[in-house]
Structure 1
Amino acid sequence: MTQTRIPRRVAVALTAAAVAVPLSLGGIATAASATSGPGAASPSPTTSDGTFGTGCSGSAAVMARADVATAAATNPQLATLAAGLKKAGLFDTLNSAKDATVFAPTNAAFKNLSASKLASLLANSSQLKKVLGYHVVSGKRITPAELPNGSFKTLEGGNLTTSGSGTTFKVNNTANIVCGNIKTRNATVYLIDSVLTPPSS
């Protein structure tokens, strides 16, 4: 029986491949354990534009070019809030703020109020100013890293709290942040699905 001789360079390549396969499999296993084991890092809460959440509408880039109240008026999800800020006399106040964070109720959040409560709120500019002021933290841009266990004094004077992890956060344990870390020229905005009630109301 004749033997077929394998050229030396082919034999070397086959040997290298035989070694590489288990090494690559080991690398895959290591990577999997790093992302799913007890020491795994928590998921990053940001996308390529810095925002997070299931309720982002793609308007972050537009909002970034304007001061916060004007930016809210460019976002279709915040039409009710923008109108309320004007009625409460807070539109120019927010636009002139040096730094701020706005926990901005979406149109859907306002619709969650009863018709009578919403009508009453919109008809009373001083109460509207109090309620909307409670959604604003002045002098500070709150980062996602501060949300897991946060407590912040609002423009209205009361405190609000934030809690959660990863990409899931709540304000006052009631309102969900549906889109977060939207940057405007002078503020950071977090869209929420409920209207917050000041503690003194």
Structure 2
Amino acid sequence: MTQTRISRRVAVVLTAAAVAVPLSLGGFATAATATPAPSGQDTSASPSPTTSGGTFGSGCSGSAAVMARVDVANAAATNPQLATLVVALKRAGLFDTLNSAKDATVFAPTNAAFKNLSASKLASLLSNKSQLKKVLQYHVVGDKRITPAELPNGSFKTLEGANLTTSGSGTTFKVNNTANIVCGNVKTRNATVYLIDNVLTPPS
């Protein structure tokens, strides 16, 4: 398949996802959508994700309840923000692999994250199965559900073999100092998901 055809298919996926977002089944509970406190009430002691155990981040959309009932790749397929990731997982032959994982953590690039790549780089990545698999495996920590409490100064071994790092505090975290966690601590039946706004690059 030519790069032009691949680019067109990716563009269609991104367009469809953008249209589908407003039609999602509901919202994750986040600090941004919490009910405002009565006038004069102190809100400075709002619970952090490390203590509340819930989802957090301004980029949460979709249905947490639906995602929680199914395995992680199937859960991603229910979230319009992860449409491009689902396409990439299927191309790399990792869709079923993630569904059969146990207690994994997935740092899931959103459609916007993939869109940050140049059209030529994205087309090249999607057309190279071995490289695509390597990149996607770098976004997965196997056999461990990472909690928000572990994010401030974390280092975790990925399925690709190299480590990724996390840093930050409160509800603001980065992965490898390059990708922001836009929606965190999303539970699926077999994994915890953190949506990120950039595609991570494995060390060469």
Smaller-chain TM-score bracket:
0.7 to 0.9
Q: How many residues align?
A: 164
2:82 maps to what in 1? Answer: 78
Q: Are 1:175 and 2:179 matched, yes or no?
A: yes
What TM-score do you get using the length of structure 1 for normalisation? 0.77
Partner secondary structure for residue 121 of structure 1: helix
Note the 1:1-201 alignment, pairs <5 A.
43-45=47-49, 50-200=54-204
Gaps of 5+ in 2: 1-40
Q: Do the aligned partners of residues 50 and 43 (structure 1) sit closer, same or farther apart at CA in structure 2, a change above 3 Å counting?
A: closer
What TM-score do you get using the length of structure 2 for normalisation? 0.76
Rg larger in 1 or in 2? 1
Gaps of 5+ in 1: 1-30
The code of the aligned residue for 1:102 comes to V
The code of the aligned residue for 1:183 comes to K
Percent identity of equivalent pairs? 89
The code of the aligned residue for 2:192 comes to T
Contact 1:46 1:52 in 2 (8 A): no
Instruction: Indicate the RMSD between aligned Cα atoms, in angstroms.
Output: 2.0
Partner secondary structure for residue 114 of structure 2: helix
Q: Which runs of 4+ in 1 moved over 2 A?
A: 45-49
The code of the aligned residue for 1:188 comes to T
Partner secondary structure for residue 79 of structure 1: helix
Q: Do the aligned partners of residues 106 and 91 (structure 1) sit closer, same or farther apart at CA in structure 2, a change above 3 Å counting?
A: same
The code of the aligned residue for 1:120 comes to S
1:16 maps to what in 2? Answer: none
